[in-house]
Structures are given as C-alpha cells and as structure tokens.
Amino acid sequence: MNWLPEHKYDLHLKHNEHRGVGETIDQFYDAKDFVSPDEWDKAVVEDNVWVLQWYPETTVGFYRIAASTLHAIEAKLKEKNYG
C-alpha cells in the first residue's frame, strides 16, 4: 500500500462508521472531507463511505479524506500531495 500518505503518528482507515451509530451519511459526515461533490453524492446514494485520517507531523494536526470507495481515496492521494 505504497499510496498511503507519510505519517509520523496515527493513520486510521474507517468504513461506514455512520452505520455503527445509526446515522445517515448526511448526519455523520462533512461533505467538504470528500474528494469531490460527485463522490459525496455517490456515497449518499450507495450508503457507503471510506475515511482515511492521518497525523503527518504531530498528534494535533491531521488530514482527513473521504470517498464512496477506497479506490477513489487512493486515486486522489496519488493525484495530490497531502501532508
């Protein structure tokens, strides 16, 4: 998984966390974390969300990226230099 971003601290991958608390995607996630508006729409329709969060330098500052598929997160990270 050489596409994962560099991180000195934690890296978390979560799938459909909203289901565990009985909320919808609209209720649980922030659309601005998604790789694109289309990915947000797709996630809502399919009720499927992947979230990758990592702490590149300290335990305080982090990045978060979300999409309807893990492949979409991988593609976005390869396209843009996060962290």
Region of residue 34 (phi > 0: left; psi between -120 and 50: alpha; otherwise: beta): beta
DSSP code string of 22-55: T--HHHH--GGGBS-HHHHHHHHHHT--EEEEE-
Predicted local distance difference test score (pLDDT) of residue 54: 83
Note whether residue 6 is domain-resident: no
pTM confidence score: 0.83
Predicted local distance difference test score (pLDDT) of residue 11: 78
Predicted local distance difference test score (pLDDT) of residue 25: 97
- Joined together, the tokens standing for residue 12 give 């978390």
Note whether residue 4 is domain-resident: no
Structural domain total, the chain: 1
Note whether residue 3 is domain-resident: no
pLDDT in tens, 12-54: 899 999 999 999 999 999 999 999 999 999 999 999 999 998 8
Domain hosting residue 56, numbered range: 11-79
* Residue 26 backbone phi and psi in degrees, to 5: -60, -35
Strand partners, 64: 53
Note whether residue 59 is domain-resident: yes
